[in-house]
């Protein structure tokens, strides 16, 4: 096996949403550093195509693919079972997968789709992998949020946006929720050797919002994204948090452009962090 540099040799890294955009660029960079990469993808064919591209470009054959629909809690539980069948270690978990939709949709579990995919899926997946991460310490959890967290609010009385729905409101809530989760998680993980940080990748030209959208919406998004930065640049902060010795032991922070930044004021409210955690735990039965 030949790799560009071997700084992640011996590390097992899971990246969700690894077949496209920021996740694919993150998985490729980690493979180039010699990591064993576990790609989590919703669609096996799209996942295989990306895996083949990553192994060719990185010359690293230790790139595995696990299929999961992160909008389904049963699928997330199956994913963890499948992972644990062939690995007892996990050093880096990157909760990257995310989606936006213009209209309100529900998952098979009856939850609002963006809340479920962008926030509850990382919440559940992280919980199910915590023992493996602790046993592999030092280990890192990296949660991909968004600048949209700054515009978000947590509607504890309407988390599923049943009373009021708008795409920005639901996306903002999901991306703020993952920041609150990261801070609470980091506190709960103190002393375990497992860190948890979150990040804004910036404005990046990817496929987000396109899958399942109408042709006019797809064309509009393509135009908007043409002003965005490349997925490779957008992945830099994820890669930094996953691999840099500079952030060894750093936890409970929000990063943009690989620099710690302040997130929305409300995200530091520890009482809200706890309330959201408790409601989320009930929603995913952990
Ligand atoms: N692009 C930006 O400007 C920007 C800005 C801020 C934050 N972000 C965040 O960055 C992350 C990566 O997004 P991206 O921009 O790289 O978009 P992308 O190209 O659309 O990639 C999103 C990935 O998530 C996967 N995914 C979506 N729903 C899923 C599900 N139910 N189960 C499993 N996988 C699912 C997608 O799989 P499919 O290919 O099968 O759909 C895809 O692999 C997201 O969390 C997004 O919110 C992006």
Residue 231 predicted with pLDDT over 80:
yes
For ligand 1, pick from 108, 205, 206, 229 the residue to mutate: most ligand atoms within 8 Å of CB.
Answer: 206
Tell me, using a 6 A CB cutoff, whether residue 172 lines ligand 1.
no
Please state, in angstroms and rounded to a whole number, the distance separating the CA atoms of residues 146 and 116: 16
Atom of ligand 1 nearest to the CA of 144: 45
Q: From the CA of 243, how far away is ligand 1's center (Å)?
A: 21
Please state, in angstroms and rounded to a whole number, the distance separating the CA atoms of residues 51 and 65: 7
Whether 171 is catalytic? yes
What pLDDT does residue 215 have?
85
What pLDDT does residue 2 have?
40
What pLDDT does residue 252 have?
98
Q: From the CA of 202, how far away is ligand 1's center (Å)?
A: 13
What pLDDT does residue 56 have?
98
What pLDDT does residue 3 have?
39
Tell me, using a 6 A CB cutoff, whether residue 75 lines ligand 1.
no
Question: For the residues 20-25, what does the mean pLDDT come to?
Answer: 98
Tell me, using a 6 A CB cutoff, whether residue 47 lines ligand 1.
no
What pLDDT does residue 275 have?
97
- Of 42, 60, 43, 48, nearest to 1 by C-alpha is 60
Question: For the residues 134-143, what does the mean pLDDT come to?
Answer: 98
Question: For the residues 168-174, what does the mean pLDDT come to?
Answer: 97
Cα dihedral sign, 55-58-61-62:
negative
Q: From the CA of 208, how far away is ligand 1's center (Å)?
A: 5
What pLDDT does residue 1 have?
39
Please state, in angstroms and rounded to a whole number, the distance separating the CA atoms of residues 43 and 20: 11
Tell me, using a 6 A CB cutoff, whether residue 228 lines ligand 1.
yes
Atom of ligand 1 nearest to the CA of 202: 5
Q: From the CA of 100, how far away is ligand 1's center (Å)?
A: 8
Residues counted in the chain: 286
- Of 243, 210, 199, 169, nearest to 96 by C-alpha is 199
Residue 62 predicted with pLDDT over 50:
yes
Question: For the residues 198-205, what does the mean pLDDT come to?
Answer: 97
Q: DSSP for 227-258?
A: TSBPHHHHTHHHHHHHH-GGGTT--S-EEETT
**DSSP designation for 106:** B
CB count in 10 Å sphere of residue 195: 25
Nearest CA to ligand 1 atom 7: 146
What pLDDT does residue 165 have?
95
What pLDDT does residue 221 have?
82
Angle at 217 between CA 172 and CA 213, to 5 degrees: 80
Is 33 in contact with 8 (CB distance < 8 Å)? yes
Please state, in angstroms and rounded to a whole number, the distance separating the CA atoms of residues 25 and 240: 13
Band the pLDDT of 217: cuts 50, 70, 90: confident
Please state, in angstroms and rounded to a whole number, the distance separating the CA atoms of residues 92 and 193: 12
Choose, from 171, 183, 240, 254, the residue flagged as catalytic: 171
What pLDDT does residue 209 have?
84
What pLDDT does residue 218 have?
84
Tell me, using a 6 A CB cutoff, whether residue 206 lines ligand 1.
yes
Q: Hey, what are 203's tokens?
A: 């404005």
Rounded (10°) CA dihedral 177, 179, 180, 183: 160
């Amino acid at each position: 096996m030949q790799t560009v540099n071997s700084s992640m040799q011996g590390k097992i890294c899971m990246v969700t949403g690894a077949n496209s955009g920021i996740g694919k660029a993150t998985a490729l960079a980690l493979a180039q550093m010699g990591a064993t990469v576990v790609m989590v993808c919703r669609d096996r064919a799209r996942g295989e195509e990306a895996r083949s591209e990553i192994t060719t470009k990185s010359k690293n054959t230790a790139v595995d693919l696990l299929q999961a629909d992160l909008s389904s809690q049963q699928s997330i539980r199956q994913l963890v079972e499948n992972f644990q069948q062939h690995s007892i270690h996990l050093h880096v978990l990157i909760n990257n997968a995310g989606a936006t939709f213009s209209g309100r949709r529900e998952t098979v579990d009856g939850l609002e789709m963006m809340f479920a995919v962008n926030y509850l899926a990382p919440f559940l997946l992280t919980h199910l992998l915590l023992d493996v991460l602790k046993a592999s310490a030092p280990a890192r959890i990296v949660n991909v949020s968004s600048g949209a967290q700054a515009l978000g609010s947590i509607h504890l009385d309407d988390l599923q946006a049943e009373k009021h729905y708008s795409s920005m409101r639901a996306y903002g809530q999901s991306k703020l929720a993952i920041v609150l989760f990261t801070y609470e998680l980091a506190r709960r993980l103190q002393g375990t050797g497992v860190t948890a940080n979150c990040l804004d990748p910036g404005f990046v030209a990817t496929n987000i919002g396109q899958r399942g959208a109408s042709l006019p919406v797809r064309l509009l998004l393509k135009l908007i994204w043409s002003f965005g930065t490349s997925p490779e640049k957008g992945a830099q902060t994820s890669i930094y948090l996953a691999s840099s010795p500079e952030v060894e032991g750093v936890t409970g922070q929000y990063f943009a452009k690989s620099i710690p930044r302040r997130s929305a004021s409300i995200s530091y409210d520890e009482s809200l962090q706890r309330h959201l955690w408790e409601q989320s735990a009930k929603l995913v039965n952990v």
